[in-house]
Structure 1
Amino acid sequence: MLIYYNSRILSERSQAMHFGKHLQIDMLHGPIIGPMILFALPLAMTGVLQQLFNTADVLVLGQFVSTEALAAVGNNSPIIGLLVNLFMGVSLGANVVIARFIGAHDLKETIRAVHTSFLLALIFGVLVAVIGELMARPMLEALSVPTSVMPLAETYLRIYFLGMPAIGLYNFESAIYRSRGNTWMPLQALAAASGLNVVLDLLAVLVFDWGVAGVAATTALSNYLSAWILYRGLCHEHGIIRLEPGAIRLERSYAKEILRIGLPAGIQGMVFSLSNLVIQAAINSLGAVVMAASTAAFTIEINIYVLLIAFGQAVTTFVSQNYGAGNLPRCRRVTQLGLLVTMVVTVVLSALACIFADPLLALFNDNPAVIDVGRIRIYYIIGFYFLCVFIEILSGAMRGYGHSLPPALLMLVTVCGVRITWIYTAFVAEPTFATIMISYPLSWAATVILLVFIYLFYRRHITARKVLI
């Protein structure tokens, strides 16, 4: 196997003079805004389709089953979001490492990093699935899920956890494609899986009457389809990121570097979800109507936030490749233009969501009481998304340089600290839904102020490309 692996490396090395042809988006030369948008838009659509897995579940259960079923899925959203954010964050480590090797034209290291990433994803996914099954009930109890909703919520969560290995593989496989500039293949794979998920959701509920369990099972099955499509695609690649099953191995030096960059990024995403667990418990204390309204509004807002995430990951990948190539001025220009473009897109979409809040909420539940409460969440969260632009872009740039830990620690202090403190002080004094929602823009504002200083500090001290391994 080792001889085969080395021969594969030599074969890829012979393609070095044609290396640029494998970069579907040239991140190292020429204009930045156009290629960045071309990179980010498929990635954003991929994020929307990822959310469609949960959105389809929410729509089908809310319209055709019951408010309790809708609330059950809503109670799982913070837990699922926490784990998905973990996978996405750790996979960014693979994205950064592979992209930097590509920028440096180091073909041998790129190939080894690709194969290590794949096996690391599989191990990570199985581990999370096992831990999730063991902790499903305690996590729901920590959210103070009402007794009437608990059986449905636990059923959905346990079945959903069976798909965690597929979610891990899909995110890492997507990261491998993104590192080379290809964001279309992950989108195509997820489009196929999302279409299957919608059809199976409707069949499970309307034809077989399987309810929550059926919807969760079809979602897990669809996740495996998306992971399989990307696996087959990587095995048939003709470029630097081709996956050879016989060469898959976990090399410690590469795995260590991926985790060094990826785990803090995953923690940063999880911090948002961890604070949301506390917030979800507070929301649950206000009753089923508020729970359903919050679930509907969350589904809308998360489909907008994926655009911020997409541009943040675009900045990460562009900075990674240019940092690998030693072009620091272009790295800084990427960050500046990323802020500009993302701010324009975010302000426009946020305004539209706030203007059309009522009809959007009615898609999920036409109960006037649910719409009134959901509108509050849209105004307080989506209305302040412009603050998150600084968080996603500056954090993405720092990850591209290899500095994932500082923004992650900052999030732990500001996001978790502000929100949890707010819930146990202001919410206790005035237990309303609006009081809970104010904690979001407050925590974002605190994060932005400190993150700008941290970013400027690290940028001044980055003078040359570091050796990764």
Structure 2
Amino acid sequence: MEKTLDMTTGKIPSMLLRFAWPVFLSSLFQQMYIVIDTLIVSRFLGDGALAALSNCENIAWLITSFMFGIGMGASVLIGQAFGARNWERLQILEGNAYAMCWIVSFVFIGLAPLICKPILIWMQTPQDVFDQSYSYLSLYIAGAGGILLFNMGSAIYQAIGDAKTPLYYLILSSFINIALDLTFILVFHTDVWGAALATVIAEWLTGIGLMLQLLNSKAKWRLERSKVRLQKEVIDDILKIGFPGAIESSAVSFANTIVQGFINTFGSIAMAATGAFASIEGFSFLPITAFCQAVGTFTAQNVGAMQKKRTMEGCRFGLLMMGISSFVLGMLLLWNSESLMQIFSSDPQTISYGLLRAKITLWFYPFCGLTHCLAAIFRGAGKPMISMLGYVLNWGLLRVIILLFVLPHYHVYSFLCWVYPITWLGSSLFLSWNYMKLDWFPEKKEIYLELD
């Protein structure tokens, strides 16, 4: 039976850590099978396939990120409704969120064959990895509905304080994905598209599993079949919170896609190094993202319960922990980056590219961590516009300006790496100023708890 965590009572540090731990484990398993995907592809299909996989990851996130942003909005409202004990509202939000996911899932099926090739051309994808990139990306996008369903189910459970149920399904998804990876690539001798098919199947199975568990739950916050439909007034509420998050995710993804395009101009070795380093970096950032999720859920539930003092205490604790932990994690990764890169590649040039990025970026991890934590606080409080501006202006606009107007004149990989810490610093300063200067805790009338 599902166990929710009411974060409106109890000791704040223990509440945050109790919630963050299963979220961390969920992220760990997710990152593990991303890394195992990468290892299987690189070891059995070569650096060309690894470069194709790396090239597609940012594009895939760009295409699906808008709906992930909408999902964040639904999660915030569900968390606020949970804190206010408004079960009818919570069920209506769940039903509308799932209805949107199903509609978009079918849209992706029709969209994939139309957009993948033009995007890869725009991304300046090298010809030696173009065909592999196309086969991976088109299959991934066509099946992205499973990823949307899984992420929506996870967001709903986490919003009500249950981080363990998504963990169990993610563990199952990881094992399914790894088994299918090995089966498709080693037994059926597929190209890199076999890794995409494995991910799609695993996500669809576990995404539907999460939805069925919500439908069959006996709890007050269960998903009602009769409520799985679109209602204009509810969608409006979700979009008020979710649309800025969707714009934020899309803008950052668009900027990262442009970054990937410039990485591609350095050739397949730089592409492979970027993919390998991203997999390593993903592990180090897991505790940070888990704790940010805990802070965001804590904020949403306590805003719903209108507990301003408790909200502020939790946010201060969260920001302090974030500054310390992100620095420690960055240093640990820096000291071990060479041996970690050697897991993915034995090519000295590939390793050197990865080490160069590590030496430039990892000193600035606290700014990246603070950005994520402050953004989670603003989203949980129902103030996603502040979070959106922090990301769009810095991780989006500033990143693109540097790339488009400066990098062409200094076509050096080390300069490209500096794009990350510069924009992390800008976003953390912007969000910190708003956190300290604005009265961002909403009035009761600002919280969308009742239907019009």
TM-score range, shorter chain: over 0.9
- Judge conservation of contact 1:87–1:167 (CA < 8 Å) in 2: no
1:445: which partner in 2? 425
Contact 2:54 2:271 in 1 (8 A): yes
Q: Which amino acid aligns with 1:264?
A: P
CA displacement at 1:311 relative to structure 2:
2.2
1:152 correspondence with 2:129: no
What's the CA shift string for 1:327-357, capped at 9, x where partnerless? 1111111211111222332222211111110
How many angstroms does 1:315 deviate by?
1.7
Q: Is the 8 A contact 1:22 1:180 kept in 2?
A: no
Aligned partner of 2:395 in structure 1 is 415
Matches within 5 A, 1:69-108: 69-108=49-88
Residue matched to 2:151: 171
Instruction: Please report how far the alpha carbon of residue 164 of structure 1 lies from its aligned counterpart in structure 2 after TM superposition.
Output: 1.1
Deviates more, 1:140-149 or 1:266-275: 266-275
C-alpha contact (below 8 Å) 2:19/2:294 kept by paired residues: yes
Counterpart selection for 1:294 from 274, 277, 280: 274
1:244 corresponds to: 224
Task: Report the alpha carbon displacement of residue 465 of structure 1 after superposing the two structures with TM.
Answer: 5.5
Contact 1:125 1:167 in 2 (8 A): no
Q: 1:355 to 1:45 in 2, by over 3 A?
A: same
Query: CA–CA distance in 2 between the matches of 1:185 and 1:345?
Result: 26
Q: 1:69 to 1:23 in 2, by over 3 A?
A: closer
User: 1:362 aligned to 331, 342, 367, which one?
Assistant: 342
Cα gap change, 1:411/1:132 in structure 2, threshold over 3 Å: closer, same or farther? Answer: farther
C-alpha distance 465-304 of structure 1, shift in aligned 2 (>3 A) = farther
Cα displacement string for residues 107-134 of structure 1 (whole angstroms, at most 9, x for unaligned residues): 2212222222221222233334433432
Deviations 1:300-320 (A, max 9, x none): 112333433322222221111
Please point out which of 309, 316, 321 is paired with 2:296: 316
| Whole-angstrom CA distance in 2 between matches of 1:406 and 1:256 | 19
Partner of 1:126: 106
Q: Write the distance in 2 (CA, Å) between the matches of 1:418 and 1:427.
A: 13
Query: Displacement of 1:466 after TM fit?
Result: 2.6
Q: Does 1:66 align with 2:35?
A: no
> Per the alignment, in what secondary structure is the counterpart of residue 123 of structure 1?
helix
Number of the residue aligned with 1:331: 311
Kept in 2: contact 1:126–1:164 (CA 8 A): no
- Counterpart code for 1:236: N
Residues 184-216 of structure 1 show CA distances to partners (whole Å, capped at 9, x for unaligned) of 111110111111111111121111111212221
Match of 1:148, SS? helix
- Residue 366 (structure 1) shift: 1.6
- Identify if the C-alpha distance between structure 1 residues 74 and 248 changes in structure 2 by more than 3 Å, giving closer, same or farther: same
Q: What pairs up with 1:212-251 in 2 under 5 angstroms?
A: 212-251=192-231
**1:431 has 2:411 as partner:** yes
- Contact 1:118–1:248 at 8 Å: present in 2 too? yes
Q: Which runs of 4+ in 1 moved over 4 A?
A: none
Asked if 1:56 corresponds to 2:23, the answer is no
Residue deviations 1:227-256 (CA, integer Å, cap 9, x gap)? 022122212222122123344222222222
Q: How far apart, CA to CA, are the structure 1 residues paired with 2:24 and 2:68?
A: 13
- Alpha-carbon contact 1:427-1:436 (below 8 Å) kept: yes
Name the aligned partner's letter for residue 209 of structure 1: H
Identity of aligned residues (%): 27
1:11 corresponding residue in structure 2: none
Q: How far apart, CA to CA, are the structure 1 residues paired with 2:306 and 2:240? A: 21
CA distance in structure 1 between the partners assigned to 2:333 and 2:109 by the alignment: 35
> 2: CA distance between counterparts of 1:379 and 1:368?
16
Q: How far 1:399 moved relative to its partner? A: 0.9
TM-superposed CA distance for 1:83, in Å, is 3.8
Letter in 2 for 1:144: Q
Q: Deviations for 1:3-45, whole angstroms, at most 9, x for unmatched residues?
A: xxxxxxxxxxxxxxxxxx9863220012111111121222233
* 1:262 pairs with 2:250: no
Q: Aligned-pair distance for 1:460?
A: 5.5
Q: How far has the Cα of 1:181 moved from its partner? A: 0.5
State the AA in 1 paired with 2:366. F
| Aligned partner letter, 1:222 | A
Distance 1:235 1:460, change over 3 A: closer
2:153 matches 1:203: no
Task: For 1:244 and 1:462, locate their aligned partners in 2 and report how far apart those are by CA, in whole Å.
Answer: 30
- Structure 2 vs 1, CA of residues 82 and 180 (structure 1 numbering), >3 Å: closer, same or farther? same
Alignment of 1:183 onto 2:163: yes
Query: What are the residue-to-residue correspondences of 1:6-17 with 2, within 5 Å?
Result: none
1:373 is aligned to 353
Conservation of the 8 A alpha-carbon contact between 1:110 and 1:240: no
Q: Which amino acid aligns with 1:352?
A: L
Contact 1:324-1:465 within 8 A present in 2 as well: no
**Distance (whole Å) between structure 1 residues aligned to residue 107 and residue 361 of structure 2:** 33
Residue ranges of structure 2 left out of the alignment (5+ in a row): none
Shift of 1:50: 3.0
Q: What do residues 39-88 of structure 1 show as CA deviations (whole Å, max 9, x unaligned)?
A: 12222332333334432322111001121111111110111232454343
Q: Corresponding residue for 1:194?
A: 174
